[in-house]
């Protein structure tokens, strides 16, 4: 029997300094093995990552979880769950997305823009431009 994903990976959104978790559940006979990759490089247990894999008793099920601690810009990537047995190999991918500062900065930009309609027009427009440039520099890949 070929390897089948019970559920495809879904993107994980995490705040900077927070935790991201990706879950991979597969079935197959013989029981599939699972490995994780980040942008094509093997992910192993370490200070930042914990990979937990276990086999369920029913129908050749295997589940694996990748936890990423202290999420930072370096962790923003495409992660792959690779599952295989003698019959086949399957891959599911998802991204880890960083959130937090970007929303705050965009909110401040919006506030300044709304204020600029009422008063301090030039000053607020200038501040909005500065925030926008900061967003581009800070969050570009």
Mean pLDDT taken over the chain: 82
CATH of region 4-99, choose from 3.40.50.300, 3.40.1360.10, 2.60.40.10, 3.10.20.90: 2.60.40.10
More confident residue, 37 or 138: 37
Q: Of 96, 99, 83, 100, give the one whose Cα is nearest residue 39.
A: 96
Cis peptide before 30 (omega within 30 of 0): yes
Give pLDDT, residue 39.
94
Q: Give the other-Cβ count within 10 Å of 52's Cβ.
A: 11
**pLDDT (tens digit per residue) in 64-119:** 999 999 999 999 999 999 999 998 999 999 999 988 655 555 555 555 555 555 55
Residue 99 confidence (pLDDT): 81
CB-CB neighbours of 81 under 10 Å? 24
Question: Do residues 67 and 49 make contact, with C-beta atoms less than 8 angstroms apart?
Answer: yes
So what's the pLDDT on residue 141? 44
Which residue ranges make up each domain of the chain?
4-99, 101-139
User: What's the whole-model pTM score?
Assistant: 0.71
Give the pLDDT confidence score for residue 124 in this predicted structure: 60
Return the percentage of the chain with pLDDT > 70, whole number.
Answer: 69
């Amino acid at each position: 029997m070929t390897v089948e994903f019970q559920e495809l990976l879904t993107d994980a959104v995490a705040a900077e300094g927070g935790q991201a978790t990706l879950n991979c559940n597969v079935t197959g006979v013989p029981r599939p093995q699972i490995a994780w990759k980040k942008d094509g490089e093997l992910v192993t247990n370490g200070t930042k990552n914990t990979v937990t894999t276990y086999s369920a008793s029913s129908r050749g099920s295997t589940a694996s979880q990748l936890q990423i601690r202290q999420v930072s810009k370096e962790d923003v990537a495409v992660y792959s769950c690779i599952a295989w047995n003698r019959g086949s190999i399957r891959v599911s991918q998802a991204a880890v997305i960083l959130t937090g500062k970007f929303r705050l900065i965009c909110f401040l930009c919006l506030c300044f823009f709304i204020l600029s309609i009422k008063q301090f027009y030039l000053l607020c427009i200038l501040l909005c431009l500065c925030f926008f440039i900061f967003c581009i520099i800070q969050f570009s890949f």
